[in-house]
Amino acid sequence: MRAGIVAFGLLFVGGVVAALLLERAAAPVLSAPALRRRNYRDHELATAGGIVIVLAVLVVEGARTAMAEFGVGEELSDSLLRSMVLFACFAFAFLGLIDDLLGTEADRGFRGHLQALAHGRLTTGAMKLFGGGVVAIVLTAAPGEVSGRRLLADAALVALAANLGNLLDRAPGRTIKFGLIAYVPIALVAGTGPVGLALASVVGATVGLLPADLGERLMLGDTGANLFGAVLGLAIVLETSRAVRTGVLIALVVLNLASERVSFSAVIDRTPGLRQLDRLGRRRPD
């Protein structure tokens, strides 16, 4: 138990430190014209900041694996569940990066992507949505011993969690803040088991990116929002009961459908508590 707590702390702190250092080091890459976007205040800055999360997780997990080869933390070094969390991290970040690089504002939401498909156009958003669904099916099928109906339900949970992360990413720090709130009960359930340890470096790296996100040095982008939402969704699938997963799935379906008609930003601004949380740490409007 004690070894697990120490390992969790090292992985989490390692993720934070790696992200803080890499965010500065990667500034020239993120300043490339292809990654420049205007944010909610019409300021131009780098998007796809989630690239930093991926790089930080690679550094931490690479160091963890190397140390295990020398007998340090060998008993905590590998598991199928860890591999699943890491694959979700990289795959969903890649799908989000496609949208960050090539996406446009022309087709938004489920309706926009479906209408584009009806006219023979495959949008980057549709690639992200359907690609995320396929990745989610592969991931939720990996442990085996699950019925076809449950498999599709769990895959939908992961894909919709990833999409909700994208939907929240409309203001600095918003996706990370609300994602961390969702992470607290997940962390309590996962503890220092394989999923909890795999999450530690990912969540740590995401926390390390929060100052840059709030300071508007970069935007999390679909790369980061897609990644964070998917990893949290997968952790719910791997660590909770069928009843809990069904309840979460229903909530995700409602929120994703509601986004087609309701502005989350408007709801947050009208709701005390949510408004204060959303604005905490952000720069004041010009």
- Distance between CA atoms of 17 and 242, rounded to whole angstroms? 36
pLDDT at 208: 97
Question: Tens of pLDDT along 256-274?
Answer: 999 888 999 999 999 999 9
Averaged pLDDT of the chain:
87
Q: What is the pLDDT of residue 157?
A: 96
Judge contact between 225 and 165, C-beta under 8 A. Answer: yes
Overall pTM > 0.85: yes
What three-state secondary structure class fits 170?
coil
Q: Measure the CA–CA gap between 77 and 101, rounded to whole angstroms.
A: 34
> Does 116 or 286 have the greater pLDDT score?
116
Take residue 237 and report the two structure tokens written for it: 């699938």
Enumerate the β-bridge partners of residue 45.
37
Which of left, alpha, beta for 191 (phi over 0: left; psi -120 to 50: alpha)? left
In sequence order, what DSSP letters do the residues of 244-273 get, joined into one string? HHHHHHHHHHHHHHHTTTS-HHHHHHHSTT
The pLDDT value recorded for residue 144 is 67
pLDDT score of 234 more than 70: yes
- Structure token digits, residue 155: 């895959």
Distance in angstroms between the alpha carbons of the first and the last residue of the chain: 50
The per-residue pLDDT for range 141-186, each reduced to its tens digit, is: 877 666 778 899 999 999 999 999 999 998 999 999 999 999 999 9
Percent of the chain with pLDDT over 70: 88
Task: Indicate the burial class of 27 (C-beta count within 10 angstroms; 0-12, 13-18, 19 or more).
Answer: middle
Q: What pLDDT sits at residue 80?
A: 83
